[in-house]
């Protein structure tokens, strides 16, 4: 059974969402402040964390930062409707997605299932060493274990970052449209004004660093998409 950690100080909302999630076949643990959320997320065995931005004792952003420092569990942020700053900052800090509040239980469940589908381990044909690899120059991805190395060193990626980078590695040297990236990485069409791809790509660029010529390894073509440069 999929285990969901729900972190929100709105007791009425968490009770309603918990009941709905239980009816949908999820196992739910609810806590009501950021400190308790960090403690549960880092020490418990959860498949996904649903984390509100505005909470007492410890904000959702700080809770996200602390969770990301020790775990790569998928995180879905609950943000105030219309607050693009919170959404962009949350994605930049490693959140996998966000849902504006107030949200319906059905919308939340749909987002949770979408995140779990794209972050779960994918079965790949085994190679001689037991795990298939995708490689572009010194960048190596192993989809079966969802691990990555860059220039011979482990590369820490969130689940969403791994999915995005996997799409680009599979099309290394080619320009991939944002629409295609959204379909392949998120399993859904690109929404108008959705900046998730841009924010996550920016984070990946920082982790890869610059080329010898000072250019990023992932090039953008305005209004078109992104391209992972080959060696």
Alpha-carbon span 209 to 204, nearest angstrom: 9
Pick the last residue of a domain from 64, 84, 119: 119
**Sequential DSSP letters for the chain:** --EEEEE-S-HHHHHHHHHHHHHTT-EEEEE-SHHHHHHHHHHS--SEEEEESS-SSS-HHHHHHHHHTT----EEEEEETT-HHHHHHHHHTT--EEEEES--HHHHHHHHHHHHHHHSPPP----TTSS--EEETTEEEETTTTEEEETTEE----HHHHHHHHHHHHTTTS-EEHHHHIIIIISSPPPTT--HHHHHHHHHHHHH-B-TTS-BSEEEETTTEEEEPP-
Question: Domain count of the chain?
Answer: 2
pLDDT at 195: 82
Residue 161: give the domain boundaries. Answer: 134-228
N-terminal to C-terminal alpha carbon distance within the chain: 43
pLDDT at 50: 96
Whether residue 154 is found in the same domain as residue 107: no
Whether residue 80 is found in the same domain as residue 57: yes
Alpha-carbon span 195 to 62, nearest angstrom: 22
Whether residue 138 is found in the same domain as residue 115: no
Whether residue 7 is found in the same domain as residue 83: yes
Q: Is residue 125 one of the residues assigned to a domain?
A: no
Q: Is residue 128 one of the residues assigned to a domain?
A: no
Whether residue 106 is found in the same domain as residue 159: no
Whether residue 139 is found in the same domain as residue 206: yes
* pTM (predicted TM-score): 0.62
Whether residue 114 is found in the same domain as residue 140: no
Alpha-carbon span 90 to 23, nearest angstrom: 29
Whether residue 46 is found in the same domain as residue 89: yes
Q: Over its length of 231 residues, how does the chain's per-residue pLDDT go in tens digits?
A: 899 999 999 999 899 999 999 999 999 999 999 999 999 999 999 999 999 998 888 999 999 999 988 888 999 999 876 667 677 777 778 888 888 887 889 989 988 988 887 766 443 444 444 457 889 989 999 887 788 999 999 999 888 888 899 999 989 999 999 989 988 887 778 877 778 888 899 999 999 999 999 999 999 988 789 999 987
């Amino acid at each position: 059974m999929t285990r969901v950690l729900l972190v929100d100080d709105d007791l009425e909302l968490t009770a309603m969402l918990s009941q709905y999630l239980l009816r949908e076949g999820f196992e739910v643990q609810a806590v009501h402040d950021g400190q308790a959320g960090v403690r549960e997320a880092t020490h418990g065995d959860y498949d996904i964390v649903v984390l509100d931005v505005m909470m007492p004792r410890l904000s959702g952003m700080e809770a996200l930062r602390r969770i990301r420092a020790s775990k790569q569990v998928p995180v879905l942020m609950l943000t105030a409707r219309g607050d693009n700053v919170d959404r962009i900052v949350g994605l930049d800090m490693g959140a996998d997605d966000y849902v504006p509040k107030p949200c319906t239980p059905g919308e939340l469940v749909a987002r949770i299932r979408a995140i779990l589908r794209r972050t779960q381990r994918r079965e790949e044909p085994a190679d001689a060493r037991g795990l298939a690899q995708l490689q572009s120059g010194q960048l190596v991805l192993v989809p079966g274990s969802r691990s990555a190395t860059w220039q011979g060193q482990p590369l820490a990626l969130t689940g969403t970052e791994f999915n995005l980078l996997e799409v680009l590695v599979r099309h290394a040297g080619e320009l991939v449209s944002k629409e295609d990236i959204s379909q392949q990485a998120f399993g859904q069409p690109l929404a108008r004004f959705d900046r998730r791809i841009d924010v996550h790509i920016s984070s990946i660029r920082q982790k890869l660093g610059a080329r010898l010529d000072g250019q990023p390894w992932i090039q953008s073509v305005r209004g078109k998409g992104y391209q992972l440069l080959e060696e």
